[in-house]
Amino acid sequence: MEPAALGIFELMRVLFLFICLVILSLEAHCQLGIPKAADPASFGLGGILQIDGSRYQPLGNPAVLGDLKRAEIGAYIIQPFGLNDLAISYAHGALHAGTGGFGAGIGYSGVDGYRAVSMHLGFGHKLWKRLMIGVGLDGYYLDLADYGNTSSIGLTAGLVFPFFPGLNLGVLLRYPASLSLEGKENLPVNYQATLSYSVSASVQLSTEWVQEPGFASDIRVGLAYSPLPQLPIRIGYQSLSNSITAGLGYQWNDIWTVDVAAGHHPYLGFTPTAGFRYKFASK
């Protein structure tokens, strides 16, 4: 392909992605296969939300906070299809409290004429030493040059039920109640169900069903294999976008964890992501 043609193709790709991300931020429909809630560890598994209580993730299932053992902080960045200008940065923190925990997160993305901020507050609680329930509040702010700004806020509710050690079921109802300003439609209700099974200390299988308005169901599957306890290797698949993901992590001294992952869309290319988390020592 000629260099000029390559330049035009790249420009069209950038414009397409920018328009889609703006539409997505306005809560209309533009499925790109980039789960909003996926930190690098989850993204490597096809975007599947973690439900075993080992970590907290912004915009994830708040019920996992009910099994939080230690306070933690973390941050990560995701580059949709390798485009620097559209990079999304997240930071989060979580704190154990009694029979549950609190979590908070904030994300930011912006280029000239476009700025988007997402925020999350969550609380999880453990009932009867097994069932975990949680509620969260998600907020979105979008600022578009020449179009003004709009804000949205939505409620989330989730639960996690361990059938037995190693087998967990998570259910998340996102935005059964929401409010949007500036005359925009309220946030669309969507549903997620996650099943995770630890086959052994080194192998974990996960699957997730996601239903969003206006789209077919998205089925996600993931496999995590740890040749060493501190070195998980992950691979996943998303049916709706026909995307493959992969990643790995490394943990130092049960305190520092680094995760990297990437996904490949059949038409739009690679999406890399990387992040870290720090867990405070238990008392």
Q: For residue 30, name the pLDDT band (cuts at 50, 70, 90).
A: very low
Whether the per-residue pLDDT at 75 is higher than 60: the answer is yes
In the chain, which ranges are E strands? 72-78, 88-97, 100-111, 114-127, 131-144, 148-164, 167-180, 190-198, 203-211, 218-228, 231-238, 243-252, 256-265, 269-279
Distance CA 232, CA 80 (A): 23
Sign of CA dihedral 49, 51, 57, 62: positive
Report residue 121's pLDDT band, with 50, 70 and 90 as the boundaries.
very high
pLDDT value at 35 more than 60: no
Percent of the chain with pLDDT over 70: 84
CATH number, position 180: 2.40.160.60
Which of the pair, 149 or 242, is modelled with greater confidence? 242
Q: What is the pLDDT of residue 37?
A: 63
**Residue 212 pLDDT:** 87
Asked if residue 137 has pLDDT above 60, the reply is yes
| HEC assignment per residue over 103-145 | EEEEEEEEECCEEEEEEEEEEEEEECCCEEEEEEEEEEEEEEC
- pTM here is 0.84
pLDDT given for residue 186 in this prediction: 78
Range of the domain at 264: 3-279
The pLDDT value given to residue 15: 55
Give the tens place of pLDDT for each residue, 249-277.
999 988 999 999 999 888 778 899 999 99
Give the confidence band of 7 by pLDDT, cuts at 50, 70, 90. Answer: low
Number of domains in the chain: 1
Spatial separation of the C-alpha atoms in residues 256 and 57, rounded to whole Å: 16
